[in-house]
């Protein structure tokens, strides 16, 4: 049996542990694995590398993906869908393991109905916004990176008696914001799920200063929106999946806070630092468990499924279900975070 594996969309720590686990499990099961380079682009262009045991040796602690990635959508490229199907056949693949987020797995879900039924999905993203799984790998590492940054920003905010606005990633879900804010002891956390009320934000900061705490940390998710409408200048250009490039809300928020209440404010945009670095133990283990499970699904011909973590069990769910809607922050965790606001 010949299994193909690709990693698509934004990279994240934990992709290499998945690749390694797929190759190791396939090897003990008598299967060959080929790596498709740069996500769906590699399948369109027939760009592959053999994944031997030696090729994946030593990659467990490495961030990023040895296969490379891209935000290529075969459905948005002239002849892309046809090329993808043709190359799948030409490569003699019995199955494909697609490792990605909502976009990459959305394409996988379409292809399953559209001529490549033998696909299994593995959920990755620092945003943790995929449905049907409690966690995606990559999130824990990003969360810990953001928390460490917040810890560092705390000491300088305190010394200078400043407010520091920390802008974190997460696209349209506030998971990184709410959890890094909770772990880092943020004084206000703003997420895309709840429109920002500037009066409330300023009142919380003033309340804190009123009890003698003359510095504050405000964590804002890049996808958060103001109640009175967008003040964020977003790049007009859309990627092949229709996403705008987010970013900039921290700057606007910081200016608005300073203008309204007069406290000296600075902004720190964490950006792609959150996507880099060596995966945490949690992400290495989750990626490894997902990789092994994905090969088991292939061996058992359970196609159209996505591996998922529910509770402490790695199970499989319908890939189609998993990409139907985003998993946004639930009220319960935000209510806990709010206890520490102001």
Order of strands, sheet of 188-190, starting from the edge strand that comes earlier in the sequence: 188-190, 216-221, 163-168, 265-269
Residue that is written with structure tokens 């010949």 in the block: 2
Contact status: 136 vs ligand F6P (CB under 6 A): no
Stretch of 22-30, 58-66, 111-119, 122-130 contacting ligand F6P, by CB under 6 A: 122-130
Query: What is the rounded radius of gyration, in angstroms, for the C-alpha atoms of the chain?
Result: 21
Structure tokens at 268: 């720190």
Per CB under 6 A, contacts with ligand F6P among 183-222 are 222
Residue whose beta carbon is closest to ligand F6P: 169
Give the integer Cα–Cα distance in Å for 327 and 64: 24
Among 171, 208, 284, 305, binds ligand F6P (CB under 6 A): 171
Total site size for ligand F6P, rule CB under 6 A = 12
**Rounded least distance, CB 216 to ligand F6P, Å:** 24
Q: Rounded to the nearest 10 degrees, what angle do helices 249-261 and 198-210 cross at? A: 60
265 contributes a contact to ligand F6P by CB under 6 A: no
Stretch that binds ligand F6P, among 29-37, 74-82, 165-173, 325-333 (CB under 6 A): 165-173
Which of 227, 187, 194, 231 has its CA nearest to residue 211?
187
Of residues 11, 103, 127, 187, which has the active-site annotation? 127
With a CB cutoff of 8 Å and minimum separation 6, the contacts of 279 are 13, 14, 16, 17, 61, 63, 137, 138, 140, 141, 287
Cβ burial 58-73 (10 Å sphere, 16+ → b, else e): ebbebbbbbbbbbbbb
**Residue 173 within binding range of ligand F6P, rule CB under 6 A:** no
Q: Select the residue interacting with ligand F6P from 36, 126, 232, 297 (CB under 6 A).
A: 126
Q: Which of 3, 4, 7, 10 binds ligand F6P (CB under 6 A)?
A: 10
Q: Is 127 in the site for ligand F6P (CB under 6 A)?
A: yes
106 is a site residue for ligand F6P (CB under 6 A): no
Q: Is 239 a catalytic residue?
A: no
CB 174 within 8 A of CB 223: yes
For the chain, the distance separating the N- and C-terminal CA atoms, rounded to the nearest angstrom, is 59
Beta strand ranges found along 82-154 (DSSP E): 95-100, 119-123
Among 164-172, 186-194, 281-289, 297-305, the segment contacting ligand F6P (CB under 6 A)? 164-172
Binding mask 52-91 for ligand F6P (x = CB under 6 A): ----------------------------------------
Contact range with ligand F6P by CB under 6 A, out of 13-21, 167-175, 284-292, 320-328: 167-175
Q: Is 246 in the site for ligand F6P (CB under 6 A)?
A: yes
The structure tokens listed for 124 are: 């990755």
How large is the angle between the packed helices 139-160 and 281-299, nearest 10 degrees? Answer: 160
Q: Specify burial of residue 259 (Cβ count, 10 A radius: 0-12, 13-18, 19+).
A: exposed
Q: Closest distance between ligand F6P and the C-beta of residue 101, in Å?
A: 6
CB 178 to ligand F6P: min, Å: 14
The answer to whether 38 contacts ligand F6P (rule: CB under 6 A) is: no
CB-nearer residue toward ligand F6P: 8 or 342: 8
Give me the active site residues, please.
127
Binding site for ligand F6P (CB under 6 A): 10, 101, 125-127, 169-171, 222, 245-246, 275
């Amino acid at each position: 049996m010949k299994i193909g594996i690709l990693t698509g969309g934004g990279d994240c720590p934990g992709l290499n542990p998945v690749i390694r686990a797929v190759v190791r499990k396939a090897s003990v099961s008598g299967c060959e694995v080929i790596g498709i380079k740069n996500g769906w682009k590699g399948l369109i262009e027939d760009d592959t590398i053999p994944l031997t045991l030696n090729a994946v040796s030593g990659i467990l602690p490495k961030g990023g993906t040895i296969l490379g990635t891209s935000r290529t959508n075969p459905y948005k490229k002239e002849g892309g869908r046809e090329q993808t199907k043709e190359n799948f056949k030409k490569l003699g693949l019995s199955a494909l393991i697609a490792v990605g987020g909502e976009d990459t797995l959305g394409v996988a879900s379409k292809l399953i109905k559209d001529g490549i039924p033998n696909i299994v999905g593995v959920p990755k993203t620092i945003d943790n916004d995929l449905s049907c799984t409690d966690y995606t790998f990559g999130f824990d590492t990003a969360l810990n990176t953001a928390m460490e940054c917040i810890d560092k920003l705390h000491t300088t905010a305190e010394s200078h008696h400043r407010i520091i606005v920390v802008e974190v990633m997460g696209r349209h879900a506030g998971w990184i914001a709410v959890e890094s804010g909770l772990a880092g002891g943020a004084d206000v956390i703003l997420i895309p799920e709840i429109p920002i009320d500037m009066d409330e934000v300023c009142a919380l900061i003033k309340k804190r200063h009123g009890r003698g705490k003359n510095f504050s940390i405000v964590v804002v998710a890049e996808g958060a929106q103001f109640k009175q409408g967008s003040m964020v200048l977003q790049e007009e250009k859309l990627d092949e999946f229709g996403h705008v490039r987010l970013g900039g809300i921290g700057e606007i928020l910081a200016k608005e806070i300073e203008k309204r209440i007069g406290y000296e404010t600075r902004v720190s945009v964490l950006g792609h630092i959150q996507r880099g670095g060596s995966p945490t133990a949690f992400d290495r283990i989750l990626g490894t468990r997902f990789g092994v499970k994905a090969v088991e699904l292939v061996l058992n011909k359970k196609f159209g499924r996505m591996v998922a973590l529910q509770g402490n069990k790695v199970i499989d769910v319908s890939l189609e279900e998993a990409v139907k809607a985003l998993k946004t922050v639930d009220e319960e965790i935000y209510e806990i975070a709010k206890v520490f606001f102001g």
